[in-house]
Amino acid sequence: MPLYNEMRPNLLAMCLKVVFLCVVLISVYTQSYSVLIWVLFVLIFSTAFMLFINFITQFFSNDLSCKTVHVHWGQIIIRETWVILRLYLLEMPFGSSAIHHEKNTPGYKPELAVFLVHGFLCNKNMWNIWREWLDSHSNWQFIKVDVPAWYWNTNDNANFLLHKVKAYQANNPGVPIVLIGHSMGGLAVRLANDHLSLPVICLASPHKGTIWSHIVSWREHGPARRGMQWLNALNKNETELSLNIYSQGDQIVIPWQSGAYFSTQQFYLQGFGHLSMLNSSRVQHAVELVLLDAVKNKP
């Protein structure tokens, strides 16, 4: 494994800490909270702007659902801003990176192993938003995988995950495994699963690309956008997913229909954005049902 795969994931946490420290120092030096207020304003404005783009693409397309389905845009802005503040100012830069329920006792064998893969510009501590839910399942082992946050090469991220899963399988034969990916993490999971054939859950993943990738990436194997060769090749292989969850209020996956996945089991969510859907009890319940099924049907 290349060394950068082990080192680069830590860069995001370090950058977030530097930004946070700069904001605090400026606020203290100026003896004003105006900088903190501006940061909050930028977060709210950017979230609202991306939701506005989502609405416009729906309104001027052939999709009339935005005109007939009541979407709680204000509710989404509040939920999404709160989750962004929690993740980017607390959990991802400063949160605990410990693996939940990791046992070093000789002979310990978990009932189930769940690999959690984050998306673009996130790190493994984003899954701390599920902390209480994860802790409620002490017989399951949750493994938070840190892949390079910039997703400059999604295939590299998928290979990194594949290496981790195969190493786990070699050391824990017979333990059922489920792969869960959020956003671009879902696509990395799908790529890795071509060589694994394990149950897969995708949350807010841009299966058919998103318009924002035209801004943040110019690389062929970077964040997904329509027409990318690797994405087209991945979608030709319509492997069934155990669960796919997407939202019409997703401000990152635009158009929102890109979050749907062929004929697999779908969970359409209303009133939540790209990150805030992780905070939904309905999402956690749907994921839990898949995990329970994996335990029930283990060989």
| 141-184 residue pLDDT tens | 999 999 988 888 899 999 999 999 999 999 999 999 999 999 99
Residue ranges of alpha helices (H) inside 175-275 are: 184-193, 213-216, 229-236
The secondary element (H helix, E strand) that includes residue 116 is strand 112-117
Residue 4: the pLDDT is 36
Residue 36: the pLDDT is 59
pTM for this prediction: 0.84
Residue 141: the pLDDT is 93
The residue assigned the tokens 């318009």 is 211
CB-count exposure of residue 233 (10 Å: 0-12, 13-18, 19+): exposed
CA of residue 98 relative to chain centroid, distance: 18
Domains and CATH numbers, the chain: 1-299 (3.40.50.1820)
Residue 78: the pLDDT is 85
The residue assigned the tokens 């924002």 is 212
CA atoms within 13 A on the CB side of 55: 15
Q: In the chain, which stretches have pLDDT less than 50?
A: 1-9, 64-68, 100
Rounded CA-CA distance 36/183 in Å is: 28
Residue 240: the pLDDT is 87
CB distance 167 to 115 below 8 Å:
no
CB-based contacts of 31: which residues, under 8 Å, 6+ apart?
none
Rounded CA-CA distance 37/127 in Å is: 27
Number of H helices, E strands in the chain: 12, 6
Residue 70: the pLDDT is 54
Which SS3 state, helix, strand or coil, does residue 295 take? helix
The secondary element (H helix, E strand) that includes residue 144 is strand 140-145
